[in-house]
Every structure is written in C-alpha cells, then in structure tokens.
Structure 1
Amino acid sequence: MSLKKCQQVEIDAANPFKNDVLDRKANIEILTQFITSYEQSIVLCIDAGWGQGKTTFIKMWQQSLKNLDIPTIYFNAWESDYTDDALIALIGEIGLSIQELTGEDKTTAEKIIGRIYKFAANFTKAAAPTMANLGIKAASGGLISADEISTAFGNLSESLVKEQITKYEESRKTLGSFKEALSELARCYADGDAHKPLVIFIDELDRCRPNFAIEVLEKAKHLFNVDNIIFVLATDKTQLGHSIRAVYGQGLDVNGYLRRFIDFDYLLPSPVRSDFIVSLSKQLGLDKYLNINIFYFPAYNYTLLNILKDITYLYKLTLREQEALCNILNIVMKTSTQFTQEEYILLFFLSVLKLKFPDLYKSLNRGSKSSFISNVLENINSQYPINTNNDIYYFEFLECMLLSVIRPASRFSYTKTIDDYVRKYNFNDVKKQKLIDSFDMVKRSEITIQDLLEIKNTIEFSSSFTLNWAV
C-alpha cells in the first residue's frame, strides 16, 4: 500500500542505455557519428514536443559521448534565465565545468577562462543605451538597419558618437580574441585532439523568457562560432516560435528567423508503442494490480496492463502524460477499494480523458448522461478508426459499456442499440460483430452513470496531489 512517485530515468555511467525503454540508442549513435564528422562549428536542434523525453535523451547522449572521451557541457537555460545576460550564464557554466578536468588541462583551462571573462566583460559594459546596444549587436554578427543607426546618431552628441564608435571598434577586435580563446579552450577539453569537438548541450530553451531564449541563440551562433564547438539545443521549436513572435510580432517568419541560428534540425521520433508505461507501472508497484488476465478474453492471454498500454498508444500520450496517468492510477489503486475489471478499464479511460480532453471529462455529471456518452463515443471513434489493425475487443467492450449506461442491456434490446450505433458511424461487418460479442459480455455486469461518477470522484481525489515530473 506504500505510495511512490515516478523517478527520473537513471543514466548508468558505464552503460547509458541500460534503462533505455524508448530504444533511443540507435538515434544517439547516428547523431554521434553526424556531429563527429564536422570540424566546423554547428548548431543542431533536437526538436520534440512537450513531454517527449528531450532531457533524458540528451543526458543519455551526453554520457554516451563521455564514454567515448568526447568532452561535453550541459547548460539548462531555463534554470539560468533569472540572469540578465545569456553570455554571462553560458560562460559561467563553462567555467564551472572546468572543475571536471584534471592535471595540466585544468590549469591551462583556468588560465584561458580567465581571459575569456575579461573579453566577455567588454561585451557587457554599461554604455549609452542606444549606440552601445548597436555596437554589441554588430559585434556579435546581428543585423542592424540604416534607420536604427540614423536614430541612434540623432540622439547622441558628436563626442558621444565618437566614444561609441571607439567602443564598437574595440568590441570587434575583442571578438576575434574571444573566439581564439574559445578555440584554445575547446582543444584543452579535447586533450589536444583536433578531431574531438566540445559538445555543449542547451536544454529547456523553450521554457525561458522570450528575450533570454533569443539571446542564447544569438550568443551560441555568433560569439561561439568556433571550430570544434558544437551546440545541441533540446527544444520544442513550435513553443520556441511562440516566444520569438512574442518579441518580434505575430507576422514573423519563425522558420526563416531560426535558420539564421540553427544549422540542422533533428526531429526526435515519437516513441512507438514502447514499454515506457510498463516500466513506470513496475517502478510504482502497480504491475501486481495490472498483470491480471481479462477473463472476457481468455484466448488472448490479455491483461489489464495490455489494455493500459494500448489505450496509451491509441491516445498518443506523451511520456509526461504517461507519468501523470501513472501518478493518478498509483493513488487511486492504493487508496480505493478493489475495482472490478470493468471499473479498471473505465478508470484507465476516464483518466486519459482527463489528461487529453479535460473539457469532455469535466462534462461528466448526472444531468448530462446522454450528451456525455454521445460525445465520448464520438471521441473514441476519432481515435480508433474501424480499419485499425487490432484483433482485441477491448475498445468495443468499452464502447458497449458506455452504451449500456444510456441503454441498460437488461431493459433494452442490445440488437437495436448496436444497429443504431453501427448505422450512425457506418461500421463494417467486422466491427459490428466485435460489438455484438462485446455486448454479450457487458450484459453480465451492467454499468451505470453512478459507477462513472464514483470513478471520477476517485480520480479527482488523486488530482489533489501534485508530483514533480520525472521525464
């Protein structure tokens, strides 16, 4: 009866793929071969949606690179966006990572980072607001328009203009020295091996303040554009695009803008019917509740865990949503009375609705029984087309349970109920037969609106608790 929360995937130092339930090893090996083929600086974007395991992926990749003696640095941009300057945050993270070096490499690196600090100070000196910013922008490779320059000069006295031009020229000279020092530092990390890049992972960029996210991109691309330094951004490009438009306007061509900073995109493949939720259920001790054969389908050796896995797949739950689902089940199953198999299936389904379609889930109440069931059946059929290659009857069984709520099998002709349902969605004969077989089983244990409401209440109890995400 003890409750646990989902833990972060453990990255084993000796074997980073030991707990790789998503089969990411092949992706990482291909990407490693790709980045080690370049001697020039590149920026690679690992693009994936919210909750798809980007952080775990790059940490697994980072450990894999370490095992190949390829130097790496991990920078969580979101944890650093409280600072005012992305350059300071980036350099600070590099400075901290020097502690991992040993011997002469560490001594040399400390001297180099000291020089880099001085060069960086030149970029961040407080100066007259307009021209100073233009100087830094130009020095870092940004584009400046004639109108910006004209406005700046119009607002400054001649002496101030000369002062800012001098600072601009100094910053341009400093930029070359800055990059040269970075190149030396990269070689130091690689122990003098010119064929080993320094790989800097930047995580959680899409969660940062818009201005900070943009500044990180600019600094990574322009100031750190040094041979053998590779940046890997782990981000949701769609969300990052929203941040960029928040600064530059909704009409901005985000893809065109990002192409200035990102050399290559790699779309992280969505997990295919993986065993991630199986792994979570074992971690939380739910497997003993779920490894129970469904007595309705004895010929298939089909368990509750199989149903949970298939519902997760058909509703395309992200890894983070699968965690949230397991957290709900963990609390419900260990604090409530024993469920019947039918109630378990409804528990899985209503929990998924809560995560994926909260408005539909909230509409479940005693007064909206018919409309709720009708909308839910519409939802199921949008997720589960009749041509789905699946010989298991569980979704038809779920559909029949829901149909019995508005047309109890004991009081209505299930034949007419099925005929009406088949006619409404134009189902084929195979689907109709599955429904008939499932309705025969549903008649043994009729489901009522009260059953659904009680399950909803247990789900709501579990939702009173908030757990940190592990993915």
Structure 2
Amino acid sequence: MSKGNAVSDSSRARVLSWSEDVLEREKYAAFLTNFLVNRSPPNEEQGLTLALDAPWGAGKSFFIDRWSQDLRRANHAVVSFDAWKHDLGDEATTLLMAAIKRELEEQCAKADDGKDSRRKAMEVTKPLVKTLRRAVLPAGKVLLAGVTKKLTGVALDELADSFVEGGANAEGGSESAAELDSTLDAIFEKVLGESESRIEAVEAFKAELIRTLKFIGKNTDVNLPMFVFIDELDRCRPSFAISLLEGIKHVFGVPNVVFIVATNTDQLGESVKAVYGQGFDGRSYLRRFFDLEAALPPPDNRSFTRILLDRRNHFSERKILCWMSETKDPVHEISVVADALKLDLRDQERMHTMARAVIASLNSRYVIHVFWLYMLCAMRIKTPLCFDLATREGYGSQEAVDELRRLRIRFPSVQYRDGRSEHANDVFTAIAAYVRVSRMHPANIASQELLHHRSGDPFKIAMHALIEENSMSAIFPSTAHYPDLILQAGHLRV
C-alpha cells in the first residue's frame, strides 16, 4: 500500500469514527493531543496527568474512545483502562500494569532487530514485571499476618492476650510487657526495612519503564508519549479509586507517559470524603494527583436530547404528535422544554427516564403528546408547584401559566403558515389548553372555543388529534393519565 493510500485510509477511518459525534468534539480532541504532546517532551523528569472533567451522561466515554482511536491512527502507544470493570479487588496498581504491559509488549514486538517478536517483547518487559512486584508488595499486610509469628514464634493475637494477662498478673506482668516491647521493636525495624526496600523498588520500576519506552522510541516507528486513558473512575469504590490515583502518581509517573483520567471530579471528591470523612476537602486533595484539568465542553440541550434518544428511542414503536416545528421532530420539542426550564444534564436524564416509564405504561393505541408529556415531567422535577397547579383539581388552567411566568420561564413562539399568512402560537396558551382539555370528558371537549382553529394552526390540530383518539369511547384523553404515571415514575432513581 502506498503512503498516499495509507493516509487516505486513515483519514477515512477518522471521519467514520467521529460520524456519530453530534456534540462536534473532534476538534477538541485534536487540540488536546497537540497540547499534551508539546507539554510532554522526553527530557521532562516526570509524566503528565490530565483530569478530563464532565458530569455523568456528558459523553466522556464516547469522547475518549474516539480520541484514543485517533491517537492509534497517529501511531501513538495507547492504553485504555476501564476502572469500573477492574474494580474487583484491592490491587489497582497491578491491574493497571497488566494493561500497560500488554501495550508495551505489542509495541516492543515492532522493533526491527531480527529477533522473534514475541521473545523480544518478553525480554524487554520482563524486568518491568519483576520490579513492579517488589514495588507494590503490600509489606504491611505480610508483616501483620505472618512475619510476626515467623520472627517470634508467637501469633499477634497471642501476643496481645499475653500482654493483657501479664498486666493482670503482678508477678509476671513486667516480664510479659518487656517481651512484647522487644517483639514490637523487632517488627518495627522490619517494617522500616521493608518500606525502604519498597521505595527503592518503585524507583527501580520507574527506571525500567523509562528504559522500555526509550527502547520503543528508538527501535520502532511508534510515536511517544504513550497515552493511558482511565475511564469510569468516579463509579469505583472510594478505596480502589484512591489506590489507582496513588499508583498513577507515584509508580507510573515517568517521562513519555500521559494519563487521561475521564471523571466527574465533584463525584470523585465525594468518594474521597467517604474515606477521609465529610469534613475533608476532597476536591483539593485530588489536585495533588492531577497536573492539569480540562473540562469537556458541555453539549447543548438539542444535542444531548438526540444522544439520549439514540441510546434508547422510546418513540420507535409509538404514534407521536409534535406541533412545535414543521419537521415534527420530538428532539425539538424536548429541547425547547429543557431550555425553558433550564434543566441540567442530570435533570434531563431524569426527565427522559420518567417519560419513558410513562410511555411504557400507556395503552399502545394512545398518541404520545411529546411536548405536554415532557413539560409535565420537567415541571415535576424543576418546579413541583407548577406541576400541582397544572394537574390537581381545584386549580384553573391559568394558574400554572401564571406561576411559570412568575419564574421567568421563556418559550419561543411557534411560527406557522395558514395559506399566505404568517401566524404565531403562544406556548403558554398551549399549556393552558392542555391543562383544560386533559381534565375534560371527550363529550364536553367539542364545544371548546379552542377547536375553532385556522386550517394551519399546529397546536389546535394537536388538540383535535387528542379528541379524535378518544371519540369512540367514553374515557378521558390520554393526557389525563400523564400526571399519575409521572408521580409513580418519580420514584425511579437515575
């Protein structure tokens, strides 16, 4: 394959990998790559760790997956480590090393020195494993569980019992205490020796890692630095998360290695508090581990809505009614609600979960009035008083609208064409009509003034559809079922 064809294939693959990038973050990935490569020259004394901060549901995993693919196409060594999947035990550093070792062996095998690739890779990386084993050996556990008995012939719990019994015995108490002191002195000296050896082993491991990376840089066409992506750290047990960060900082922090930790730093800070106490400043503590922090640009509500619907489209097998745009696009109506009520990403996720639960509970013959369903869900989340005013008997249709206006809620007007004339619907008028009609029996709806509409009025067409779906039976409109189902769905946690 010619170099030109290789470049063409790489460009085509990059376009395909970002084809679902509705948040348009490809340029941001390229910017971060250039920035981090320039911030990580090989003559630096240590590596670089970047915290990529974004709330849950903001697309962190998608972003780092596509970014890592770009880096691989640029011939960088890349390691992807899902911390949540590996949160099975206490040896976070060892698990991370296993992932790094696989990548290093793969890159070492590309060296053109005439040796068998597998044997060559094993030879280069074998010292890494040996020095890491010494560096991460939990000396304290070994000492407390076994070394005490090995040194003294007496188990630690037996020593404690002897001390207690000796204290109660006036004749032998001083002798038992002296024996315990002597034993503890021996243990303490052993701990000091093990700790010093472990520090030396960490430095030896770092030296081996540096040597291995230099070998790759000199003998292959692989580009450095090596990028290590850590995902889902904020979902891990606090002890595992902290252990992994400590390993990154103290064991793997060497030149030519860039760590990207994609996480919700606020949530991770709460995990730190779970270990050190609620009064502990977890956010400041985390800054010790990160050289840089970068925020993942937040998605606009329209893009985020499309992500959520692409993930699980609960409209796929249902009849839906959209009246706010000529395209009849539910994404538009849902994002208008999210914009107007200023929902953050977490609240938008809750809104979608509630709406999905309501739709699953409705008879399949019902048409889903997208705007009104999502508007009620959003009001339930953001302003429960408005929800009560809009759904409880005893309140007029205008009271919910007045409360929304008092809260300075703003909606765009809905433009439509009736023949050659331009018209606009006031969304607040539509809200009042939904409140009013949803409480009526179909037999009483036909007389309502709102049905006397122009031929092109999208909202009043929606009202007609609401009536027609119930015209053959003596039941209330489908929208009358929304409030109770939303209250039930509100008990779900996301």
| Normalised TM-score (structure 1) | 0.69
Cα distance change of structure 1 residues 163 and 205 upon mapping to structure 2, 3 Å threshold: same
Which amino acid is 1:60 matched to? R
Alignment match, 2:169: none
d(CA) in 1 for partners of 2:196 and 2:79? 32
| 1:273-352 mapped onto 2 (5 Å cutoff) | 273-278=301-306, 281=309, 284=313, 286=315, 294=323, 301=326, 303-305=328-330, 306-314=332-340, 315-316=342-343, 318=345, 321=349, 324-325=352-353, 328=356, 332=360, 336-339=364-367, 343-352=369-378
Give the counterpart of 1:259 among 287, 300, 303. 287
d(CA) in 2 for partners of 1:373 and 1:95? 66
Alignment match, 1:116: 128
Give the counterpart of 2:224 among 175, 193, 196. 196
Alignment match, 1:225: 253
CA shift at 1:254, angstroms? 2.4
8 Å CA contact 2:246, 2:289 repeated in 1: yes
d(CA) in 1 for partners of 2:64 and 2:97? 20
Alignment match, 2:158: none
Alignment match, 2:77: 71
Alignment match, 1:434: none
Alignment match, 1:58: 64
Q: Bigger shift: 122-131 or 248-257?
A: 122-131
Give the counterpart of 2:199 among 145, 154, 172. 172
Which amino acid is 2:88 matched to? Y
Which amino acid is 1:345 matched to? F
Q: 3-state DSSP class of the match of 1:251?
A: coil
Show CA shifts across 1:22-57 (max 9, x none): 111121111111111122411101111111111111
Which amino acid is 1:22 matched to? L
Show CA shifts across 1:150-198 (max 9, x none): xxx9896222222222222222221221001122333455565696211
8 Å CA contact 2:64, 2:229 repeated in 1: yes
Alignment match, 1:127: 139
8 Å CA contact 2:322, 2:371 repeated in 1: no
d(CA) in 2 for partners of 1:155 and 1:248? 33
Q: Bigger shift: 255-264 or 371-380?
A: 371-380
d(CA) in 1 for partners of 2:402 and 2:202? 60
Structure 1 residue runs without a partner (length 5+): 1-10, 134-152, 416-436
8 Å CA contact 2:265, 2:283 repeated in 1: no
Cα distance change of structure 1 residues 324 and 211 upon mapping to structure 2, 3 Å threshold: same
In the alignment, is residue 80 of structure 1 matched against residue 80 of structure 2? no
CA shift at 1:344, angstroms? 3.5
CA shift at 1:248, angstroms? 1.1
8 Å CA contact 1:112, 1:181 repeated in 2: no
Give the counterpart of 1:404 among 436, 445, 448. 436
8 Å CA contact 1:325, 1:351 repeated in 2: no
Show CA shifts across 1:51-91 (max 9, x none): 11111111111111111111111111111121112111111
d(CA) in 1 for partners of 2:390 and 2:428? 23
Which amino acid is 2:270 matched to? H
Alignment match, 1:183: 210
| 1:137-148 mapped onto 2 (5 Å cutoff) | none
CA shift at 1:256, angstroms? 2.1
Which amino acid is 1:80 matched to? H
Give the counterpart of 2:189 among 162, 165, 179. 162
Alignment match, 1:248: 276
| 1:348-427 mapped onto 2 (5 Å cutoff) | 348-352=374-378, 356=381, 368-370=392-394, 377=401, 380-381=404-405, 385-386=409-410, 393=425, 395-404=427-436
Which amino acid is 1:307 matched to? E
Structure 2 residue runs without a partner (length 5+): 1-11, 112-116, 146-179, 416-424, 451-456, 468-474
Q: 3-state DSSP class of the match of 1:197?
A: strand
Q: 3-state DSSP class of the match of 1:52?
A: coil
Cα distance change of structure 1 residues 396 and 174 upon mapping to structure 2, 3 Å threshold: same
d(CA) in 1 for partners of 2:396 and 2:279? 39
8 Å CA contact 1:119, 1:177 repeated in 2: yes
8 Å CA contact 1:410, 1:443 repeated in 2: no
Alignment match, 2:421: none
Alignment match, 2:96: 90
Q: Bigger shift: 440-449 or 235-244?
A: 440-449
d(CA) in 2 for partners of 1:444 and 1:332? 24
8 Å CA contact 2:231, 2:263 repeated in 1: yes
Count matched residues.
408
CA shift at 1:222, angstroms? 1.3
d(CA) in 2 for partners of 1:175 and 1:335? 64
| 1:21-36 mapped onto 2 (5 Å cutoff) | 21-36=22-37
Cα distance change of structure 1 residues 240 and 14 upon mapping to structure 2, 3 Å threshold: same
Show CA shifts across 1:342-379 (max 9, x none): x333233345557x45977997998x434798996588
Cα distance change of structure 1 residues 331 and 229 upon mapping to structure 2, 3 Å threshold: same
Alignment match, 1:139: none
Q: 3-state DSSP class of the match of 1:15?
A: helix
d(CA) in 2 for partners of 1:197 and 1:216? 20
Q: 3-state DSSP class of the match of 2:393?
A: helix
Q: 3-state DSSP class of the match of 1:232?
A: strand
State the identity as a percent: 23
d(CA) in 1 for partners of 2:339 and 2:32? 26
d(CA) in 2 for partners of 1:155 and 1:43? 45
